Amino acid sequence: ILPGWFSEISPLWPGEAHSLKVEKILFQGKSDYQNVVVFQSSTYGKVLVLDGVIQLTERDECAYQEMITHLPLCSIPNPKKVLVIGGGDGGVLREVSRHSSVEQIDICEIDKMVIDVSKQFFPNVAIGYEDPRVKLHVGDGVAFLKNVPEGTYDAVIVDSSDPIGPAQELFEKPFFESVARALCPGGVVCTQAESIWLHMHIIEDIVSNCRQIFKGSVNYAWTTVPTYPSGVIGFMLCSTEGPAVDFKNPINPIDADDSHTKTRGPLKFYNSEIHSASFCLPSFAKRVIESN
Ligand code: PUT
């Protein structure tokens, strides 16, 4: 490991480690759940790291936050009630709040330190918390969902870290069953679903669980995020039985200036073309995902 560089080493991507040059360590702490680090990098702005794994950088967070949010919300006509599981940095909230049809935004994040650190070091991300429609619940997303009345949400967005540590249960079948229960008929879920280059075994399991649970449609989309392992990350998008959802053809566009452009800035990454394109898969991934 080079001195003055951060290298992202994990058993989830053995034999490789993306590195960023560190200008200054800004925060180091240990929460009840994980190690939390913020550093200033020389080329990607400030970086949030949990248990040694990059969660966001100022430069490329837009690609992840915009896609995980607008892929589901632009696919249904009139989202009103949205639940975010994880997403403690507030970036998904920032994006959900661009949708004027939304009346209620609940977020359940397990780690208060992630929220506090994001508010201190990433104000342009944590700005999502400033929307009055947001209600924060600090706690375990799995437990939270068990208490949600059936059919409550139009959309659930699961912005988790990787399936080692506090987020592990968010990749398991019982969790997806609770999500399906919490959704209204024709409701949608979008969940962080790792990299087609590194994690086809994890993706296969998610797809096969989701096909058993979600009786509407089940799709995999992906996008580029240069500082995530292998430079890409995917999303599992599913809908419950009810009004049909055609994820590949967005019906609720948000390309025009949204109501929050003044405070949040315009969209940097998402548009309707990239929405549809994100469902096109390389042949090796298509074979596995479609056969499950
Ligand atoms: N929230 C997404 C984090 C992914 C880290 N590999």
The ligand 1 atom at the shortest distance from the C-alpha of residue 86 is: 1
Q: What is the pLDDT of residue 259?
A: 60
Tell how far the Cα of 54 is from the centroid of ligand 1, in angstroms. Answer: 7
From residue 6, alpha-carbon distances to 16, 117, 178 in Å are 13, 19, 37
What is the spatial distance between Cα 292 and Cα 199, in angstroms, rounded to a whole number?
Answer: 15
What is the spatial distance between Cα 79 and Cα 75, in angstroms, rounded to a whole number?
Answer: 9
Nearest CA to 188 among 153, 213, 152?
A: 153
Interface ipTM above 0.85: yes
Nearest CA to 170 among 286, 83, 287?
A: 83
Q: What is the pLDDT of residue 70?
A: 98
**Mean pLDDT taken over the chain:** 95
Q: Phi/psi at 178 (nearest 5 deg)?
A: -65, -35
The ligand 1 atom at the shortest distance from the C-alpha of residue 192 is: 2
The ligand 1 atom at the shortest distance from the C-alpha of residue 54 is: 5
The ligand 1 atom at the shortest distance from the C-alpha of residue 229 is: 6
Set 60, 111, 131, 159: catalytic member: 159
Tell how far the Cα of 227 is from the centroid of ligand 1, in angstroms. Answer: 10
For ligand 1, atom 4, name the residue with the nearest CA: 161
The answer to whether residue 292 scores a pLDDT higher than 80 is no
Contacts 24+ apart (CB under 8 A), 3-12: 6/39, 6/41, 6/47, 6/49, 8/49, 8/52, 8/53, 8/54, 8/229, 9/52, 10/52, 10/53, 10/162, 10/164, 10/229, 11/164, 12/162, 12/163, 12/164, 12/198, 12/199, 12/229
User: 52-111, pLDDT tens digit by residue?
Assistant: 999 999 999 999 999 999 999 999 999 999 999 999 999 999 999 999 999 999 999 999
Tell how far the Cα of 162 is from the centroid of ligand 1, in angstroms. Answer: 6
**Ligand 1 pocket, mutate which of 161, 164, 224 (most atoms under 8 A from CB):** 161
**Ligand 1 pocket, mutate which of 9, 47, 50, 54 (most atoms under 8 A from CB):** 54
Tell how far the Cα of 163 is from the centroid of ligand 1, in angstroms. Answer: 10
Q: Are 292 and 281 in contact (CB under 8 A)?
A: no
| Known active-site residue 106 | no
- Pocket of ligand 1 from Cβ distances under 6 Å: 53, 55, 159, 161-162, 192, 228-229
Q: Are 95 and 128 in contact (CB under 8 A)?
A: yes
pTM metric for this prediction? 0.97
Tell how far the Cα of 64 is from the centroid of ligand 1, in angstroms. Answer: 9
User: 167-221, pLDDT tens digit by residue?
Assistant: 999 999 999 999 999 999 999 999 999 999 999 999 999 999 999 999 999 999 9
User: 216-263, pLDDT tens digit by residue?
Assistant: 999 999 999 999 999 999 999 999 999 999 999 999 988 555 567 777
Angle at Cα 182 formed by Cα 179 and Cα 186, nearest 5°?
Answer: 90
The ligand 1 atom at the shortest distance from the C-alpha of residue 12 is: 6
Alpha-carbon 131 to chain mean position: 19
Tell how far the Cα of 242 is from the centroid of ligand 1, in angstroms. Answer: 31
3-state SS assignment for residue 61: helix
**Ligand 1 pocket, mutate which of 16, 122, 162, 223 (most atoms under 8 A from CB):** 162
What is the spatial distance between Cα 273 and Cα 202, in angstroms, rounded to a whole number?
Answer: 28
